[in-house]
């Protein structure tokens, strides 16, 4: 969480970045550690004039940046990847300090962010075009078409708190890879990792205005989104805010990575229940459950239900929960106490409607104990909405038809895990499940940063993953050439 105050001088406050230049202001915000409220760091807060200068610079450089060579952009991205990898432990500690996620998950995020920039550098080098022959129809003899992609223009990237570095990277890296200037607004609760990324970008030779990092409050977002000089908006966050942005700006190119209530389907043919229980327990509660693809619903074939349910409950109960600085901790706090209170209210509401708490169900400040529920009414919010906390619901299903119908009976459609050895079921899941991704033999929480990632329905539009985001940030332009074949 963040707390703002005006000070004359605060020497250890991090600067923000306007057009690639470190910048300070009289206004400083303190970032507090979610677990114990200690000071995690501080940063200068941009003024309205700083924001205006950042957008001016992005607009001014759009043509020059688009014309830079792939080698120049790739070299900058490679530099950031190497610097992140070289100081991964420092980066991980900063992520834990501001976000509260246990060090094991912060380390994973730091390494993933380095990989994200490395992939962007590789994609920048091979992001070419296509030559199409046009003489397949009479009247087009001797003609060919060169199809290339060009930046739509400057990008506004709005990032969430749950992955304060890697989800910023997933906006910045593909934009820089295609030569699109980007203005980044990190989450107010977790701006420090984005500002560290700014430090590394400042070491590159990207042109002035190619990027800015503006840790402003959420009240500044509508003005940023409305600016016509930012024709592309990439937003990751809540469904309500994301679709409001899309509705307010129908003429802009808006990509949305929103919520989910991810399901894991365990089929009758699946036998390795011990490892499955461990995977489901861990990835229903990692990041404090604050991941769009945390396991929230577990749909278990009736023939496997009793044994697997018992194993899941035991595995969840054994998850080390507590201080994120403890190397053994798997489950840390939520982003703030208000988030934990909301989760507790949803669980209490389900219990009042008849649900049983098999383990957990307790709150201590911003920490909510990893919780497993059963006999939950289908219309309870812990089933229908995104809990975004360490809570999962177990459900008994009678068939694949039943399981897939329940997966699809949701406003959301991000990812689903299907535990099966049957290739026919795997292909059926790919064909029938209304989600953006299906993971066979594992939890829906799996994500490789280079793959297309995103959802349908209330889970959003567009795709992350370097190549996919690069395509989202660009448009196709055709050049028809005579006498080339």
Contacts of 448 (CB under 8 A, 6+ apart): none
Other residues' Cβ atoms within 10 Å of the Cβ of residue 410: 24
Q: Look up residue 207 and give its DSSP letter.
A: P
**34: three-class secondary structure by DSSP:** coil
Contacts of 211 (CB under 8 A, 6+ apart): 17, 20, 172, 175, 176, 181, 182, 183, 184, 198, 201
- Beta-bridged to residue 233, according to DSSP, are 156, 254
CA distance 16 to 25: 9
Q: Look up residue 476 and give its DSSP letter.
A: E
> What amino acid positions are annotated as catalytic residues?
257, 292
Contact 214, 114 (CB under 8 A): no
Distance of CA 145 to the CA centre of its chain: 37
Burial label for 428, CB within 10 Å (0-12, 13-18, 19+), is middle
CA distance 323 to 436: 34
**172: three-class secondary structure by DSSP:** helix
Closest CA to 281 of 248, 314, 259: 314
Contact 309, 394 (CB under 8 A): yes
For residue 339, what are its two tokens?
A: 């988030």
14, 31, 227, 297 from 7: Cα distances, Å: 14, 15, 30, 47
Contact 290, 109 (CB under 8 A): no
Contact 208, 61 (CB under 8 A): yes
Angle at which helices 302-317 and 273-285 cross, to 10°: 50
Half-sphere exposure of 95 (CA within 13 A, CB side): 32
């Amino acid at each position: 969480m963040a707390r703002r105050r005006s000070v004359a001088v605060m020497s250890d406050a991090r600067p923000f970045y306007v057009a690639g230049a470190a910048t300070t202001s009289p206004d400083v915000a303190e970032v507090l550690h979610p677990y114990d409220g200690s000071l995690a760091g501080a940063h200068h807060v941009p003024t309205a004039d700083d924001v205006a200068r950042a957008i001016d610079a992005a607009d001014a450089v759009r043509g020059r940046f688009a014309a830079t060579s792939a080698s120049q952009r790739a070299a900058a991205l490679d530099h950031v990847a190497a610097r992140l990898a070289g100081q991964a432990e420092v980066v991980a500690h900063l992520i834990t300090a501001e976000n509260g996620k246990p060090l094991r998950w912060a380390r994973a995020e730091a390494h993933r962010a380095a990989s994200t920039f490395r992939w962007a550098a590789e994609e920048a080098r091979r992001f070419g075009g296509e030559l199409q022959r046009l003489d397949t129809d009479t009247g087009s003899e001797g003609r060919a078409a060169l199809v290339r992609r060009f930046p739509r223009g400057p990008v506004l990237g709005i990032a969430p708190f749950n992955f304060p570095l890697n989800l910023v990277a997933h906006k910045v890296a593909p934009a820089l890879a295609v030569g699109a200037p980007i203005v980044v607004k990190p989450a107010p609760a977790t701006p420090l990792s984005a500002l560290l990324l700014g430090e590394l970008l400042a070491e590159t030779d990207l042109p002035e205005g190619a990027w800015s990092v503006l840790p402003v409050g959420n009240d500044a977002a509508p003005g940023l989104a409305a600016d016509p000089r930012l024709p592309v908006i990439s937003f990751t966050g809540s469904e309500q805010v994301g679709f409001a942005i899309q509705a307010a700006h129908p003429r802009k190119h808006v990509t949305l990575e929103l919520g989910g209530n991810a399901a894991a389907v365990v089929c009758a043919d699946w036998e390795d229940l011990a490892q499955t229980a461990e995977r489901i327990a861990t990835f229903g509660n990692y990041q404090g459950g604050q991941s769009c693809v945390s396991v929230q619903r577990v749909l278990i074939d009736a023939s496997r239900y009793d044994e697997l349910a018992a194993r899941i409950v035991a595995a969840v109960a054994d998850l080390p929960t507590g201080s994120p600085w403890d190397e053994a901790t798997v489950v840390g706090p939520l982003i703030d106490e208000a988030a934990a209170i909301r989760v507790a209210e949803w669980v209490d509401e389900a219990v009042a409607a008849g649900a049983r708490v098999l383990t957990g169900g307790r709150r201590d400040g911003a920490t909510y104990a990893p919780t497993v529920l059963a006999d939950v009414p289908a219309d309870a919010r812990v089933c229908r909405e995104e809990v975004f906390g360490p809570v999962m619901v177990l459900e008994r299903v009678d068939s694949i038809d039943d399981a897939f119908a329940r997966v699809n009976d949701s406003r959301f459609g991000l990812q689903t895990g299907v535990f099966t050895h049957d290739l026919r079921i795997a292909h059926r899941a790919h064909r029938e499940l209304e989600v953006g991704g299906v993971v066979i033999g594992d939890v829906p929480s799996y994500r490789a940063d280079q793959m297309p990632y995103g959802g349908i329905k209330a889970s959003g539009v567009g795709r992350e993953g370097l190549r996919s985001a690069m395509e989202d940030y660009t448009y196709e332009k055709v050049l028809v050439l005579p006498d080339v074949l």
